[in-house]
Every structure is written in structure tokens, then in C-alpha cells.
Homo-oligomer: A and B are copies of this chain.
Amino acid sequence: MSFDHVSDSTVRRLSNYLRVLDELGKEGEAVVSSQGLAERAGVTSAQVRKDLSYFGTFGRRGRGYEVAVLESEVRGILGLDRRWRVGLVGAGNIGSALFAYKEFARQGFDIVAVFDDAADRIGAKLGELEIRPMDDFERVCRERGVEIGVIATPAKDAQAIADRMARVGLRGILNFAPRKLFVPDAVALRTVNMAIELESLSFALAQDEEKRHGRRRFPAG
């Protein structure tokens, strides 16, 4: 039995707990209650306890959780106790920013190859790495043991690249292109879609606008 039944929301909250635990550790706190953790993470204490309960029992009744112990447990649960070899496709604005993004390496993701098809980028360097043409994609992925692909290309190219990533056997894809991708079940896919966040922010602001000005654009019910 595996832990597929753990919801995505739970996993995402674990990430937040981990950051809070990291902070608490730096502040010298040795023990924290579900209540204390919850306040900093912006959730309820019951939620914290329920989330953790899916993976084991880490606390002591009447006392709380050892910060250091819980942090290390959560790291393990999230699979952050090992490193992954990453191939980056797209060396434009977003790709370059990702390459320089320290969080990436800090979480155990090492970019070991960069690809782009723009003639003026091929052969250029990103850090120590030479930017390769997509023709070399499959060969270089095999040579360097790439396990995870990051897509930072225009939306129109994203699905074709995801297909190649799946075909060459990559196990996970992090997609930054503003497009819904379809991949085989064997490939884990996560998407960072700024367009969606922008648009959902725009929606919230537009709603607010209506309230202020009393406009009614949609059926009142």
C-alpha cells in the first residue's frame, strides 16, 4: 500500500510546515504545538494534526512536537533527503531565472543540462553549462542521467517537449508554460502557471470593483 490517498492539499501544506519548522529551528525553539505550527502556517491546529497523521505519529501528547525531529521527518516524507538530476528546456527569461534560483538547488534539484532551440542561444553558457540544441535532448538526458524535466518554453512548444520527456523516460515534469499538459500516468507533473494566478487575481479585483461601484454584470441570485 502506498500513499496515493494523501491529498495534494496535504502535501502542499507539508511544504509550508517545513518552512515554518525551519524558521522555528533558527529561532531556537525546541518544541512546538500543533496550535503554534498552525498559526504560523495559516491553518487550523486540527488540520496540522490530521495532515501529519497520514504519515505516522510524531508528537507527544501533553507536550507537542520536537522541532528538529518533525522537520527531519517532513523532509523525508517529501523526498527531500536525496538529490534529483534536472534537465531544463528553455533558456529565455524564465529559464535563466530558474537556473539562478537558489531554492532550486537548496531543495535538492541539480540542473545538469540546458536545452534551447534558438540559434543565438545554442552554444552559449548558463553558469557552467553549455546550452544544447533540442536535437541532442535524448542523448544528453541519457548520458547525464536526467530524471526530471523543467519546461520553460513558449506555450506552443510545451506539449511536444513533454511528449519527448515522457518518451525518454523522465519521471517528473515541472511545467512553467501557460498551458495544460497531458502526460502518461507514470510521469509526475506539476505546473506553475503565472497566467492563472494573474487571472484569478484579476477576477478577485474585478469582483471588488463591482461591490464598490454597485455594478451588476452577472445574474444576481
Contact A171/B205 with A107-B195, A198-B104 known, Cβ cut-off 8 Å: yes
Query: Quick one: which of A109, A155, A172 has the most chain B CB within 10 A?
Result: A172
A211–B3 alpha-carbon span in the complex (Å): 10
In the bound complex, do residue A107 and residue B196 qualify as a contact, i.e. CB atoms below 8 Å apart?
A: no
Q: Which residues from 95 to 109 on chain A have a C-beta closer than 8 Å to any C-beta of chain B?
A: 96-98, 100-101, 103-104, 107-109
Contacts of A101 in B (CB 8 A): 93-94, 194
Number of copies: 2
A11 at interface by CB-CB < 8 Å: yes
A180–B204 alpha-carbon span in the complex (Å): 19
Sorting the interface of chain A by its residue count into under 10, 10 to 19, 20 to 34 or 35 or more gives 35 or more
In the bound complex, do residue B148 and residue A201 qualify as a contact, i.e. CB atoms below 8 Å apart?
A: yes
A84–B143 alpha-carbon span in the complex (Å): 47
Contact A199/B97 with A41-B180, A207-B3 known, Cβ cut-off 8 Å: no
Contacts of A210 in B (CB 8 A): 2
In the bound complex, do residue A178 and residue B103 qualify as a contact, i.e. CB atoms below 8 Å apart?
A: yes
A18–B205 alpha-carbon span in the complex (Å): 18
In the bound complex, do residue A203 and residue B79 qualify as a contact, i.e. CB atoms below 8 Å apart?
A: yes
17 pairs, CB–CB < 8 Å, chain A vs chain B: A1-B220, A3-B207, A3-B218, A8-B200, A11-B200, A19-B179, A56-B218, A77-B203, A77-B206, A78-B206, A93-B97, A93-B100, A94-B97, A103-B195, A104-B198, A174-B197, A192-B194
